[in-house]
């Protein structure tokens, strides 16, 4: 059987699937359950310095083709990560953990990075691209080369751990933005965050379904956008990438790896295939590799020119 082990920024993953930030992952037990179901690694929900209320329900729904959410980054704040989530997860750590951090002020990213570093996550993922808090905080940092680079610099200054930046697809120049972050010391990227924001209206009630009115679009419909963004970022930087966006099957995973992804993030997949989908995706990847004579995933990462 093919070896699905992947090295990402010096961290060894037993397979390339990781839980994307924002799905499950409210507690350490939930993260452990995702690993138990086959994931090679997990990403926490976005951690804020202080407690942050999300939006009111409805915050998500799905259709056959796409999924929408505007949870609004609800979180109990750093204190819970420090006192509960990390200590619980680190006891017999089952797989690498990526700490996802978020802030609305540049200075807070630095403060948070310094604190998170001490909890000893394997990787720090910086969320500068959530599309459903724009009413609160304006356009995401990921929409400008200057802002994205500044955040990267602030985080880089506070930690020696691998820092990866979660990029937005909702830009015209994702490659340029990635380059800007790379110049400030980013070790890699997660591409992409959700698309949009989009809007869905209940025509009987004549109002948007999501309380936030708009929300990030994910699911099968966005896969081509994710694959293209990963391709652009890989071409621009050749740094390690977690490819995420509409990945539901092992074949989807292989596809985004060919575009340049080294790990494959999955979140909305849980809606379509339940949490046990992680193990199924891994099996499907192994099957494909075996049938196609691929012995090591290094052979396919970024193989598409």
Q: Does 93 bind another protein (CB under 8 A)?
A: no
75: preceding bond cis by omega (within 30 degrees): no
Tokens of 50: 């202080």
Nearer to another protein, 27 or 173 (CB): 27
Q: What is the Cα–Cα distance from 84 to 104, expressed in whole angstroms? A: 24
**Cα(165)–Cα(186) distance, integer angstroms:** 7
Work out whether 179 is an interface residue with another protein (CB under 8 A).
no
Question: Quick one: which segment of 5-13, 60-68, 226-234, 250-258 binds another protein (CB under 8 A)?
Answer: 60-68
Q: Where are the beta strands (DSSP E) in the chain?
A: 6-8, 11-13, 17-19, 42-43, 60-62, 67-69, 97-101, 123-127, 163-166, 188-191, 195-198, 201-202, 207-208, 215-218, 241-244, 263-266
Residue 274 Cβ vs another protein, minimum distance, rounded to whole Å: 6
Smallest distance, another protein to C-beta of residue 118, A: 21
> Whose CA is closest to 269, among 37, 86, 98, 4?
37
Residues 24 and 31 sit within 8 Å (Cβ to Cβ): yes
Considering only residues 26 through 45, tell me which ones interact with another protein, judged by CB under 8 A: 26-34, 36, 45
| Interacting residue with another protein among 106, 145, 199, 209 (CB under 8 A) | 209
Give least dist CB 235 to another protein, A: 32
Residue 223 C-beta: closest distance to another protein, Å: 16
Task: Please tell me whether residue 92 binds another protein under the rule CB under 8 A.
Answer: no
The catalytic residue positions are 130
List residues binding another protein (CB under 8 A).
23-34, 36, 45, 51-54, 56-64, 71, 74-77, 80, 84, 200, 202, 204-205, 207, 209, 211, 267-268, 270-272, 274-275
């Amino acid at each position: 059987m093919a070896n699905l082990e992947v090295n990402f920024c010096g961290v060894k993953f037993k397979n390339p699937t990781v839980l994307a930030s924002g799905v499950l992952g409210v507690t350490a037990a939930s993260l452990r359950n995702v690993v138990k179901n086959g994931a090679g690694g997990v990403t926490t929900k976005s951690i804020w310095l202080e407690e942050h209320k999300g939006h009111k329900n409805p915050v998500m729904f799905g259709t056959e083709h796409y999924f929408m959410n505007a949870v609004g980054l609800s979180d109990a704040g750093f204190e819970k990560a420090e006192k509960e989530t990390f200590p619980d997860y680190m006891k017999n750590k089952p797989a690498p953990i990526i700490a996802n951090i978020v802030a609305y002020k540049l200075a807070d990213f630095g403060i948070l990075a310094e604190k998170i570093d001490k909890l000893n996550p394997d990787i720090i993922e910086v969320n500068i691209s959530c599309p459903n808090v724009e009413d609160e905080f304006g356009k995401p940092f990921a929409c400008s080369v200057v802002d994205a680079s500044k955040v990267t610099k602030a985080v880089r200054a506070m930690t020696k751990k691998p820092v990866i930046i979660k990029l937005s697809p909702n830009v015209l120049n994702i490659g340029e933005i990635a380059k800007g972050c790379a110049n400030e010391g980013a070790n890699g990227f997660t591409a992409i965050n959700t698309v949009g924001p989009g809007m869905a209206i209940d025509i009987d009630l004549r109002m948007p379904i999501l309380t936030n009115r708009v929300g990030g679009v994910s699911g099968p419909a966005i896969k081509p956008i994710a694959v293209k963004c990963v391709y652009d970022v890989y071409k621009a930087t050749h740094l390690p990438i977690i490819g995420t966006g509409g990945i539901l099957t092992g074949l989807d995973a292989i596809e985004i790896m060919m575009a340049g992804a080294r790990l494959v993030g999955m979140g909305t997949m849980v809606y379509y295939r339940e949490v046990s989908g992680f193990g199924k995706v891994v099996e499907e990847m192994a099957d494909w590799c075996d049938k196609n004579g691929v012995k090591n995933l290094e052979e396919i990462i970024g193989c598409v020119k």
